[in-house]
């Protein structure tokens, strides 16, 4: 038993989900090793950090999973901050979703979870909002976390403190298997050499690249372009979540703007004029004055998307290979609950009835079921 405890469980992917899962497993005493090609390309570094199951209008089991995660995020963040010494920038700032008509507002899938706003109240919550928006919903329970500048770094530091080993610059090329049993991975190391790394257990957390590593799962990349502006401090106190565009204000006045959703772009890197134009048109439609604020950064990333835009969680067709991928637009929101459910399952800790029902609903082969 002692020798087995020292065998590293591989985390395939060093993004937000991979770091979160590694952190939870290490907290439970597991020996963990993260294999990462280039952590800077991870979706967790390019996302806006919204915690928005209600503003997003999630439905069904994805809403239930998002709400469960939202409830547990405060304690999850406290633990990470204590273990890392880094403030993660969690803010319960609330999110405003504007609408042109009361009918459109009432048709929002999660309207019953929000507070109705008339035009006057909308202007108080979002000074300078464009005139076509006559009503809105305020979701006080939704918020944000500074994933790019704080959360990712905090998780990295917390993982190091718990003894997690990192292999950066390692590209996982394939999964090794024998008779439906996971045996390890084939990798290209930082020097370009091919290697076989044997292992008995691993968690696939490779985001948009997951299918390239494990062909059995239906994950495709969806490209997103973003930018940031430096607004006056406190110019925007709430997140403004419009159709196709959102504005996320940080404490220092930085405002993150996102995001395009380019389903046919594949892994085509780089910014495009059409994508940037779409973002600026979205800003004008929501908060016209913001287009006059200084531009800071522009970037892009790739979201991992499944056929129903929900994650793939839990065991896979291979014994020993676990899945934590396919989170699409909700990776930041679902990182904590994903890590908790995976860590409990791997460590054979009994799940609550609700947890078990949810992880079952997001099994990898649900698309084959009628």
Q: To the nearest 10°, report the CA torsion of 84, 88, 92, 97.
A: -150
The pLDDT score that the predictor gives to residue 148 is: 85
Residue 43: pLDDT over 90? no
Task: Tell me if 39 sits within 8 A of 15, measured CB to CB.
Answer: yes
**257-302 per-position pLDDT tens digit:** 999 999 999 999 999 999 999 999 999 999 999 999 999 999 999 9
The pLDDT score that the predictor gives to residue 42 is: 63
Query: Where are the domains positioned within the chain?
Result: 2-87+147-219+308-368, 95-143+220-305
Q: Residue 289: helix, strand or coil by DSSP?
A: helix
The pLDDT score that the predictor gives to residue 369 is: 57
Q: How many whole angstroms separate alpha carbon 123 and alpha carbon 164?
A: 48
The pLDDT score that the predictor gives to residue 307 is: 96
> What is the architecture, at CATH level 2, of domain 2-87+147-219+308-368?
3-Layer(bba) Sandwich (3.50)
* 82 Rama class: left (phi>0) / alpha (psi -120 to 50) / beta: alpha
Tokens coding 287: 């908060």
CATH class of 95-143+220-305: alpha beta
Rounded average pLDDT over 229-249: 94
The pLDDT score that the predictor gives to residue 46 is: 76
**Packed helices 60-84 and 152-161: angle between N→C axes, nearest 10 degrees:** 60
Of the pLDDT bands very low, low, confident and very high (cuts 50, 70, 90), residue 7 is confident
Alpha helices, DSSP H only, in 290-352? 331-346
Percent of the chain whose predicted confidence (pLDDT) is above 90? 91
The pLDDT score that the predictor gives to residue 302 is: 93
- Say which range, 30-39, 60-69, 203-212, 219-228, has the weakest mean pLDDT: 30-39
Q: What residues form DSSP beta bridges with 10?
A: 33, 202
Mean pLDDT, the chain, rounded, equals 94
Task: Tell me if 221 sits within 8 A of 46, measured CB to CB.
Answer: no
The pLDDT score that the predictor gives to residue 315 is: 97
């Amino acid at each position: 038993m002692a020798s087995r405890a020292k065998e590293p469980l591989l985390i395939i992917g060093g993004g937000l989900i991979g770091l979160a899962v590694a952190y939870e497993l290490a907290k439970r005493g597991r020996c963990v090793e993260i294999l990462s090609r280039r952590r800077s390309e991870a979706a967790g570094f390019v996302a806006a950090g919204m915690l928005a199951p209600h503003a997003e209008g999630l439905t069904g089991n994805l809403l239930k999973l998002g709400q469960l995660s939202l409830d547990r995020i405060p304690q999850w963040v406290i633990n990470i901050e204590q273990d890392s010494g880094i403030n993660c920038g969690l803010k319960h700032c609330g999110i405003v979703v504007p609408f042109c008509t009361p009918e459109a507002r009432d048709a929002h899938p999660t309207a019953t979870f929000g507070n109705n706003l008339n035009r006057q109240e909308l202007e108080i919550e979002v000074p300078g909002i464009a005139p076509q928006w006559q009503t809105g919903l305020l979701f006080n329970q939704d918020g944000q976390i500074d994933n790019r500048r704080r959360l990712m770094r905090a998780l990295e530091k917390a993982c190091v403190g718990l003894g997690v080993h990192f292999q950066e610059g390692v590209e996982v090329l394939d999964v090794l298997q024998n008779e439906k049993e996971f045996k390890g991975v084939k990798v290209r190391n930082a020097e370009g050499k091919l290697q076989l790394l044997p292992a008995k257990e691993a968690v696939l957390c490779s985001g948009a690249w997951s299918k390239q590593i494990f062909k059995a799962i239906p994950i495709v990349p969806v490209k997103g372009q973003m930018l940031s502006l430096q607004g006056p401090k406190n110019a925007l106190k709430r997140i403004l979540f419009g159709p196709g565009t959102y504005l996320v204000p940080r404490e220092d006045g930085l405002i993150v703007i996102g995001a395009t959703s380019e389903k046919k772009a594949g892994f085509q890197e780089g910014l495009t004029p059409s994508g940037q134009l779409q973002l600026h048109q979205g800003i004008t439609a929501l908060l016209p004055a913001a287009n006059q604020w200084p531009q800071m950064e522009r970037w892009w990333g790739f979201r991992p998307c499944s056929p129903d835009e929900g994650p793939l969680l839990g065991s896979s067709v291979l014994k020993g290979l676990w899945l934590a991928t396919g989170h699409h637009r909700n990776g930041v929101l679902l990182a904590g609950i994903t890590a908790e459910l995976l860590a409990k399952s791997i460590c054979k800790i009994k799940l609550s009835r609700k947890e078990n029902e949810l992880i079952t609903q997001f099994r990898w082969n649900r698309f084959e079921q009628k």
